[in-house]
Amino acid sequence: MSGRILDLFKPFKAFLPEVIAPQRKVPYNQKLIWTAVSLLIFLVMGQTPLYGIVSSETSDPLYWLRSMLASNRGTLMELGVTPIITSSMIFQFLQGTQLLQVDMSNKKDVELLQMAQKVCAIALTFGQAVVVVLTGNYGNPSSLGISISLILIFQLIFASFIVLLLDELLSKGYGLGSGISLFTATNIAEQIFWKAFAPTTVNMGRGTEFEGAIIALFHLLAVRKDKKRALVEAFYRQNLPNCFQVLSTVAVFLFVLYLQGFRYELPVRSTNVRGQIGTYPIKLFYTSNTPIMLQSALSSNIFLISQIMYQKFPSNPIIRMLGVWGLRPGSQGPQVALSGLAYYLQPPSSISEILLDPIKAVAYIAFVLGTCALFSKTWTEISGTSARDVAKQFKEQGLVINGKRETSAYRELKKIIPTAAAFGGASIGALAVGSDFLGTLGSGSSILLATTTIYGYYEMAAKEGGFSKNLVSGMSELM
C-alpha cells in the first residue's frame, strides 16, 4: 500500500535533471578532483552576495543553525544544505517508522526513493526561499518590489539546486563521501580558520585590534608596552576570538581524533570462505556524529520556533515559558534566550555563567547527554546498524564470531552494540558540552561534526588511496 506513495513520484522522473551514475569505478585520483571541484564551487557560492539585497542587518533567527547547515548569511548559500538535510531526514524517519515501505534490495524502489527525496528537497527549497524573502530578511518586500523579490527567490532556488546536484554527483560515486557532510565540515573549518587568522581589524576605543586570534597575539605583543598584559589580553579577551579558544579548539580536535581510535574488535571469521579471519570493529563513536547532529537540529529548531514566536507574541505566558529572547547585557552579538526553556537548552557562554547559575549548567548537561544517548540508540534502529541488523548482515555474508556458534552472533552483538551506541552518544554529547565550556571557536557540536567528518574522509582516503591500511582494520575491507 505504501508503495503507492512512492509511485506518486514516478511522473517527475522525466523532468528532473539527474547525475548519471558512473559506468565503471571512478579511480581515486579522479574522485579527488571531482571532490575538490565541487568544494570550490560551493565555497565560491558561499562568498557570492545575493543580488538585490537592501539590508541584512535584522536580527538573524537562523543564527543557531548556520554552522550546522553550511549556510552563509546574505550569500547564495543562504539556505545551505537545509533542504537536502530536511528532506533526507523526513524520508529516513518515514522509512524507519515503516510508514513508507521501501524494498532496499529492489533497484527501482531505491531509485524512486532518491527521486522522491529530490522532489521533496526542491519543494522545500522553494518554500524556504519564499519564506526567507517574504519575511523581510533582506528588507521589507513591499519596498523591494516584486521583481527584486522574484530575482532573490530565483537566486536562492538556483543555488540550492546546484548544491543538490553537487551532492548527488559526489554521493553517486564520483567523489569521496557525501556532499552534505563535506560542505558542512568545510564551512565549519572555514569559520574556525577565519576566527584564528582574520585580517579584519576592530577599533573600539583602545587601539586597533585584530579579529583573528593568532594575528592578534602577535599584534598585541608588538604594540602594547606591557607585554604581560598584552599576553593576558590576547589569551582572554572577551569581545573577540582569543588564543585560548584557538588552543582549546585544537585540543578538542586532537582529543576527538584520539577517541576515534577507540573500538571493540570482535574477532570474526568467514564460513563461506575459509581462511578469512579478521575483526569487526565496533567503534566507541558507533553512530559517529549523528546524535550530536540530531541533538543540535532539535535544539536549534526549538530556538528558532521560540524566537519567532517570542517576536510575534512577546507577552504570551506560554511562549514566555518557552523562551524570552534578547541581547545579552553588554553585547551586540546575536540574540540569546534570557529565560524560559530555551535558556536552559542553550550552552553557557562562559565559566562564570556556570558558577552564577549552576542549575542551568546541570540542566544543559543532562539535556545534551541524555538526548545524545537516546538519539544514538534509536539511530541504530533507524539506520539499520542495530544488533539485529548486524547479525543478519553477518549471516548473509557467512561471518561468525570466532569460536562462537553461528546463532550466538546476535546475542554477542546485543551485548555490545546498544551499550556502544548509548555510551558513544553520551560521550559525544559530553565532548560537545566540554568544548562549549572550554569556549572553543564555534560551538562544540560543530567542531565535533567537522572533526568526525574529517576523520571519516581520512579513513576513506586511506582505504581508497591505499596509503595507510592500518588505520582501517582487516574486516571492513572484506565487508
The nearest distance, CB 295 to other proteins, in angstroms, is 29
Asked if residue 231 lies in contact with residue 224, where contact means CB atoms within 8 angstroms, the answer is no
Find the part of the chain contacting other proteins (CB under 8 A) among 165-173, 317-325, 337-345, 404-412. 404-412
The nearest distance, CB 259 to other proteins, in angstroms, is 23
User: Angle, nearest 10°, between helix axes 409-438 and 243-260?
Assistant: 170
Distance of alpha carbon 115 from alpha carbon 389, whole angstroms: 26
The nearest distance, CB 246 to other proteins, in angstroms, is 11
Is residue 330 part of the contact set for other proteins (CB under 8 A)?
yes
The nearest distance, CB 220 to other proteins, in angstroms, is 9
110 versus 273: smaller Cβ distance to other proteins? 273
Asked if residue 399 lies in contact with residue 280, where contact means CB atoms within 8 angstroms, the answer is yes
**Which one of 68, 102, 164, 215 is in contact with other proteins (CB under 8 A)?**
215
Residue numbers 57-96 binding other proteins by CB under 8 A: 57, 74
The nearest distance, CB 382 to other proteins, in angstroms, is 29
Closest CA to 476 of 298, 266, 325, 333: 266
CA dihedral 469, 470, 474, 479 (to 10 degrees): -50
Asked if residue 93 lies in contact with residue 298, where contact means CB atoms within 8 angstroms, the answer is no
CA angle 455, 457, 463 (to 5 degrees): 105
CA angle 382, 71, 163 (to 5 degrees): 70
The nearest distance, CB 250 to other proteins, in angstroms, is 13
> Total binding residues for other proteins by CB under 8 A?
54
Length of the chain: 479
**Which one of 41, 165, 224, 324 is in contact with other proteins (CB under 8 A)?**
224
Calculate Rg over the CA atoms of the chain. Answer: 24
Is residue 55 part of the contact set for other proteins (CB under 8 A)?
yes
The nearest distance, CB 30 to other proteins, in angstroms, is 9
**Which one of 277, 321, 356, 362 is in contact with other proteins (CB under 8 A)?**
277
Phi, psi dihedral angles at 336 (to 5 degrees): -125, 160
52 versus 74: smaller Cβ distance to other proteins? 74
Is residue 392 part of the contact set for other proteins (CB under 8 A)?
no
Asked if residue 291 lies in contact with residue 372, where contact means CB atoms within 8 angstroms, the answer is yes
| Site residues (vs other proteins, CB under 8 A) | 29, 33, 53, 55-57, 74, 197, 199-208, 210, 212, 214-215, 217-219, 222-226, 228-229, 238-239, 267, 269, 272-279, 330, 402-405, 408, 411-412, 473-474
